[in-house]
Structure 1
Amino acid sequence: MEIILDNLVEAKRQLDSTIHKLKETVKTLEGKENPNRYKSQITLAQRRIEAFELSVFLIEREIRDHSKNSK
């Protein structure tokens, strides 16, 4: 079962990194001279952030449940 836990932890780490990069992308695009020009890209990035944050939440819950069951 440890392999699964290690995979969950690594997946969370990768998602956290991607969320950070997407948030920086949104900041950059919103800071452009004409942010409306990038509206669809901003929206796509924000939707991806929401999806990845949900994934992180579910992974964290799975890790907690795994920890409770291991005791």
Structure 2
Amino acid sequence: MMYEQDDLREAKRQIESTLHKLRETVKTLEGKENPSRYKSQITLAKRRIKAFTIAVTLIEQQLENGKNG
């Protein structure tokens, strides 16, 4: 599926914003007095961080390919 360069840049920007919020959430939860109480939320946030990081990498690759193509 083909996407416009502007759409890809905006998607990347939105994902990066979400990544920032997720990383802050992990820091906050891990910094709590009893972080094991939040183990499932921390695990979910870390999995989402990994997934969104992959998405950003793929978007960056697509943007780079679009410049050369």
Equivalent position of 2:34 in the other structure: 34
Listed as ranges, the gaps of 5+ residues in structure 1 are none
Q: Which letter does structure 1 place at the counterpart of 2:33? A: E
Distance 1:21 1:6 in 2: 23
How big is the shift at 1:64?
0.0
Whether 1:8 aligns to 2:8 is yes
Q: TM-score if structure 1 supplies the norm length?
A: 0.93
Coordinate RMSD, CA, aligned? 0.8
Q: How many percent of aligned residue pairs carry the same amino acid? A: 63
Listed as ranges, the gaps of 5+ residues in structure 2 are none
Runs ≥4 residues deviating over 3 A: none
Secondary structure in 2 aligned to 1:14?
helix
Distance 1:67 1:49 in 2: 27
Structure with more helix by fraction: 1
Secondary structure in 2 aligned to 1:56?
helix
Distance 2:38 2:52 in 1: 21
How big is the shift at 1:21?
0.3
Q: Which letter does structure 1 place at the counterpart of 2:46? A: Q
Secondary structure in 2 aligned to 1:27?
helix
